[in-house]
Chain A
Amino acid sequence: MAGFNFSVGSGEGQGAAGCFGRIFQAGFFSVFLGMGLLFFVLLLRSILQGEPKTLVFFLLLPLVFVVVGAAGLYSAIRGPKPKPAPESGLSEALSSKATDPRKGAWFMVLFFAVFLAVGLAVSYALLFRPALKLVKARHWAPTACTILSSDVGRHSGSKGGSTYSIDITYEYEAPGGIYRSGDYDFMGASSSGYDGKADVVKRYPPGIRATCYVNPEDPREAVLNRDFQAEYLIGLFPLLFVFVGLVGMPWAYRKARQASHPSDLRAGTIVAARGPVELKVPAGPVAKLFGAILVAAFWNGIVSVFVWQMVEGWRHGHPDACLTLFMIPFVAVGLGLIGLIGYQFLALFNPRLHVTLSEQAVPLGSSADLEWRFSGSASRIERLTMTLEGREEATYRRGTSTSTDKHVFCSVELVALPAGSAVASGRTRVEVPAGTAPTFEASNNKILWSVKVHADIPRWPDVIEEFPLRVLPAGGAP
């Protein structure tokens, strides 16, 4: 029998908290799965009932929910992955938990690739295909047709509201025989808003002669309206997915390439290129503005659908008080996000700060020269402070949410200047205290160093920036 001097615990207790966490996780993913299935069935039913075939592309969206929900539910039910059970009384290998950080990064590449694929598929259905048809239809032959039936279709939504569609059937003669079509335009899908559709239906009462436009290459295809309409602009929405995929994939790919492989930590001196380096902020003012616009557009885009339903209810004399109360906090957040866009827009006109460090990285107990320069109207700055900060960051999961706690272990004031010419540019010495820790970046635990800058501008957004700084072990090069 093998002998052991000491034992090692797994450190992963499955107490009541873990049990509740799994129940919560199971509930959360059940909702995900249920919603995905519900939307999938509703969409499929609509397609089978004669909605435009382009909706087939939308089946991808609820399927993403179904896959994520099923995977999460399976993970919650299965619980933590069983580990190889060592013989009774023997310890468990902690080193077996070591993972290759590049795998996670490649997973992110895949995640954004799915975003891109779904965005492209839906964009094709809602934007590119209708746009192509609109252009081609300019050359379709105007053909006399007879309206057979004409009505506004009403479709019950999953949340109790209704959407409407233009349901007009007409008959026309084209090479090959007599055809029937139910397409009014290239969009076809039902949407909210009854009045506009009722107006169209009024213009095409059953029995009248009208003009339709027939595809000469396929006479079975025809529409009554080949003009551009505002509804086509909804096709721009899936471009958001395409954008996220296009931006996210290269970012995740870079992360995957940069992620250190365990072998990178093999013995050897740490080499950092010598010479000055301009420190970069993770996101500049334009990126922050763009990010604020994206978040606000996404949030308010979703909220606006429900607000529209709420307003329609009030307008038609059957208000939904419950929905109205429920929407108040969501609308408040949306307004706050719009305010954030305004804040970030004003911040575009702030003086820009350029920070240069005399070394690419600073070893513990060593120092480097830091130069700063404001471009733009630095005279507006009332007070400038710069601080060298070292902090711990720990990321952990609680239930289905991920949180990051931070703790500052070192804060050294570098610069504290009142308004004046010295603010516009200057130089200071950055000394990293010995006895602290160098930069350390694992997936969930980090030791980070940065130069934090706060330039106070009266009655205007302040310049608040954080420039990451790499700190090496004591004695490391340079």
Chain B
Amino acid sequence: MTVDAGGRTEFRPGETLAGAASWNLDTAPKAVEVRLFWYTEGRGTQDVGLVDKARFEQPLMSERRDFRFTLPEQPYSLSGKLVSVRWAVEVVAEPSGEAQRLEFTLGPNGKEILLGDPVNP
């Protein structure tokens, strides 16, 4: 099971993330979903936000499907002292729950924002 986004891992808001998910499973899944989502890391309890998904019903055991998402304006990928926000595309087989994930960054320049200590320009 693999997922790729054309070799890119840095995106700007509003850009299109296009890629392909492929799988080679022991049994035919009921469905395969490609999910676009963000999640948090850090001190706080984890939050996960599903933004979009592409669902393929009754796929074959071995298959490759293209997907395409238009990325939202926010939240930006960021790393702070307490909160970090990450973006990922995940391909999930149902009902087994087998999954594969591709992480990428979403930011004004495609890079994640680094939040440090107070700045006072």
* Contact status B50-A98, CB under 8 Å: yes
* Contact status B72-A96, CB under 8 Å: no
Contacts of A322 in B (CB 8 A): none
Contacts of A437 in B (CB 8 A): 75-76, 78, 80, 113, 115
Q: How large is the interface on A (under 10, 10 to 19, 20 to 34, 35 or more residues)?
A: 35 or more
A305 to chain B, nearest CB (A): 36
B102 to chain A, nearest CB (A): 9
| In the complex, per-residue mask of B49-82: 1 if CB is within 8 Å of any chain A CB, else 0 | 1111000000000000000011111111010111
* Contact status A409-B118, CB under 8 Å: yes
Contacts of B46 in A (CB 8 A): 11, 97, 444
Contact for B108 among A5, A442, A444, A474, CB less than 8 A: A474
* Contact status A438-B100, CB under 8 Å: no
* Contact status B73-A412, CB under 8 Å: no
Contacts of A444 in B (CB 8 A): 40, 44-47
Q: How large is the interface on B (under 10, 10 to 19, 20 to 34, 35 or more residues)?
A: 35 or more
Q: Is A211 an interface residue (CB 8 A)?
A: no
B104 to chain A, nearest CB (A): 14
Q: How far is the CA of A269 from the CA of B71 in the complex (A)?
A: 10
Contact for B98 among A6, A87, A99, A270, CB less than 8 A: A87
Q: Is A156 an interface residue (CB 8 A)?
A: no
* Contact status A3-B2, CB under 8 Å: yes
* Contact status B113-A95, CB under 8 Å: no
Q: How far is the CA of A396 from the CA of B43 in the complex (A)?
A: 7
By beta carbon, the residue of chain A nearest B4 is A5
Q: How far is the CA of A474 from the CA of B85 in the complex (A)?
A: 17
Q: How far is the CA of A466 from the CA of B115 in the complex (A)?
A: 21
Which listed segment binds B: A46-54, A106-114, A350-358, A387-395? A387-395
Count, A-B residue pairs, CB within 8 A: 198
Q: How far is the CA of A96 from the CA of B108 in the complex (A)?
A: 28
Contact for B97 among A11, A93, A262, CB less than 8 A: A93
* Contact status B49-A392, CB under 8 Å: no
Q: Is B13 an interface residue (CB 8 A)?
A: yes
Q: Is A447 an interface residue (CB 8 A)?
A: yes
* Contact status A94-B82, CB under 8 Å: no
Contact for B113 among A96, A412, A436, CB less than 8 A: A436
Q: Is A413 an interface residue (CB 8 A)?
A: yes
Contacts of A445 in B (CB 8 A): 40, 42, 44-45, 47, 82-83, 85
Q: Is A1 an interface residue (CB 8 A)?
A: yes
* Contact status A394-B44, CB under 8 Å: yes
By beta carbon, the residue of chain A nearest B101 is A8
Q: How far is the CA of A30 from the CA of B72 in the complex (A)?
A: 46
B69 to chain A, nearest CB (A): 7
Which listed segment binds B: A78-86, A131-139, A234-242? A78-86
Q: How far is the CA of A306 from the CA of B70 in the complex (A)?
A: 63
* Contact status A4-B81, CB under 8 Å: no
* Contact status A438-B76, CB under 8 Å: yes
Contacts of B92 in A (CB 8 A): 93, 95-96
* Contact status B48-A392, CB under 8 Å: no
By beta carbon, the residue of chain A nearest B16 is A267
Q: How far is the CA of A6 from the CA of B85 in the complex (A)?
A: 20
A6 to chain B, nearest CB (A): 8
Q: Is B99 an interface residue (CB 8 A)?
A: yes
Contacts of B98 in A (CB 8 A): 2, 86-87, 90-91
* Contact status B99-A93, CB under 8 Å: yes
**Which residues of B1-34 have CB atoms within 8 Å of chain A's CB atoms?**
1-2, 13-14, 23-26
Contacts of A266 in B (CB 8 A): 51-52, 70, 72
Contact for B83 among A94, A392, A408, A476, CB less than 8 A: A392
B89 to chain A, nearest CB (A): 9
Contacts of B26 in A (CB 8 A): 1-2, 87
* Contact status B99-A92, CB under 8 Å: yes
| In the complex, per-residue mask of A376-394: 1 if CB is within 8 Å of any chain B CB, else 0 | 0000000000000000111
Contacts of B70 in A (CB 8 A): 266-267
Contact for A93 among B44, B47, B90, CB less than 8 A: B90
**Interface on B for A, CB 8 Å cutoff?**
1-2, 13-14, 23-26, 35, 37, 39-52, 69-76, 78, 80-83, 85, 88, 90, 92-93, 95-101, 108, 113, 115-121
Question: Beyond A267-B73, A409-B116, A445-B42: 16 further Cβ-contacts under 8 Å?
Answer: A3-B2, A87-B98, A95-B39, A97-B46, A98-B49, A267-B14, A267-B70, A268-B72, A392-B81, A397-B45, A405-B43, A407-B80, A433-B121, A436-B115, A437-B115, A442-B47
- Would you list 26 pairs from A and B whose C-beta atoms are within 8 A, ordered by A residue? A2-B24, A6-B101, A11-B41, A84-B95, A85-B97, A86-B98, A90-B1, A92-B99, A93-B35, A94-B48, A95-B92, A98-B37, A268-B72, A270-B74, A408-B118, A409-B80, A409-B116, A410-B119, A436-B119, A437-B75, A445-B47, A447-B83, A447-B115, A473-B13, A473-B74, A476-B73
**Interface on A for B, CB 8 Å cutoff?**
1-6, 8, 11, 83-87, 90-99, 262, 265-270, 364, 392-397, 405-413, 433-438, 440, 442-447, 472-476
Instruction: Enumerate the 4 nearest inter-chain pairs by beta-carbon distance, A residue then B residue, closest first.
Output: A394-B44, A267-B70, A442-B47, A98-B50
